[in-house]
């Protein structure tokens, strides 16, 4: 199990035993739809999502350093062929995805987690560019990305999201290893 530490968090791989904690936050209608997935309706559904999507070597449960067994969110890397940007990303690139439970909004945890995952991607996975997207109107995600040096690169006005069966406007930002090193 890979652990990444920040000042206030431990980012670790997901376990099925995280299902109850994930459900605590993912049942909130303010979380899933803005991140691109439906509101969870049961612990079993959260367990299924963990098993199908979250149990990847590059996906991490966000936990607080004083309670690493309680997942409060997710941050991870979707490599070239996995993320929403797969139609414009190339080899050596990845897309960051993340969400965090509403009680933890506004505390700077997501920018801190992004900073750590970017460092991991550039220093340990030897990636050259990291992409990140946010749904139109998600100002919190836009700000979190900008705080880490991500710059707007493109907007897709007709992005189809099969999980919610909707067409959305998605903004994509990116950060190159060269720009990150010169920060």
pLDDT per position as a tens digit, 55-75: 988 999 999 999 999 999 999
CB burial of 51-70 (b: ≥16 within 10 Å; e: otherwise) equals eebbeeebbbbbbeeeeeee
Residue 141 lies in a domain: no
Residue 167 lies in a domain: no
Domain count of the fold of the chain: 1
Report pLDDT for 88. 59
Residue 31 lies in a domain: yes
Residue 62 lies in a domain: yes
Report pLDDT for 90. 65
Report pLDDT for 150. 95
* CATH number of the domain to which 12 belongs: 3.40.630.30
Residue 122 lies in a domain: yes
Residue 105 lies in a domain: yes
Residue 44 lies in a domain: yes
Range of the domain at 7: 3-132
Report pLDDT for 82. 52
Q: At 162, is the secondary structure helix, strand, or coil?
A: coil
Q: List, for the chain, all residue ranges whose pLDDT scores fall below the cut of 70.
A: 80-90
Residue 26 lies in a domain: yes
Cα–Cα distance for residue pair 79/85, rounded to 1 Å? 10
């Amino acid at each position: 199990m890979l652990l990444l530490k920040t000042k206030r968090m431990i980012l670790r791989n997901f376990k099925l035993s995280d299902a109850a904690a994930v459900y605590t936050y993912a049942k909130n209608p303010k979380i899933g739809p803005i991140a691109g997935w439906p509101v969870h309706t049961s612990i079993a559904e959260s367990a299924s999502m963990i098993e199908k999507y979250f149990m990847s070597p590059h996906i991490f449960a966000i936990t607080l350093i004083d309670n690493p067994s309680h997942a409060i969110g997710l941050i991870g890397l979707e490599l070239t062929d996995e993320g929403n940007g797969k139609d414009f990303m190339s080899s050596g690139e990845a897309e960051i995805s993340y969400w965090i439970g509403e009680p933890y909004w506004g505390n700077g945890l997501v920018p801190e987690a992004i900073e750590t995952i970017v460092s991991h991607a550039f220093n340990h996975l030897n990636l050259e560019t990291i992409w990140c997207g946010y749904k139109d109107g998600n100002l919190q995600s836009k700000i979190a990305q900008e705080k880490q040096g991500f710059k707007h690169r493109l907007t897709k006005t007709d992005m189809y999201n099969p999980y919610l069966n909707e067409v959305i406007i998605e903004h994509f930002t990116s950060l190159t290893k060269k720009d990150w090193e010169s920060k």
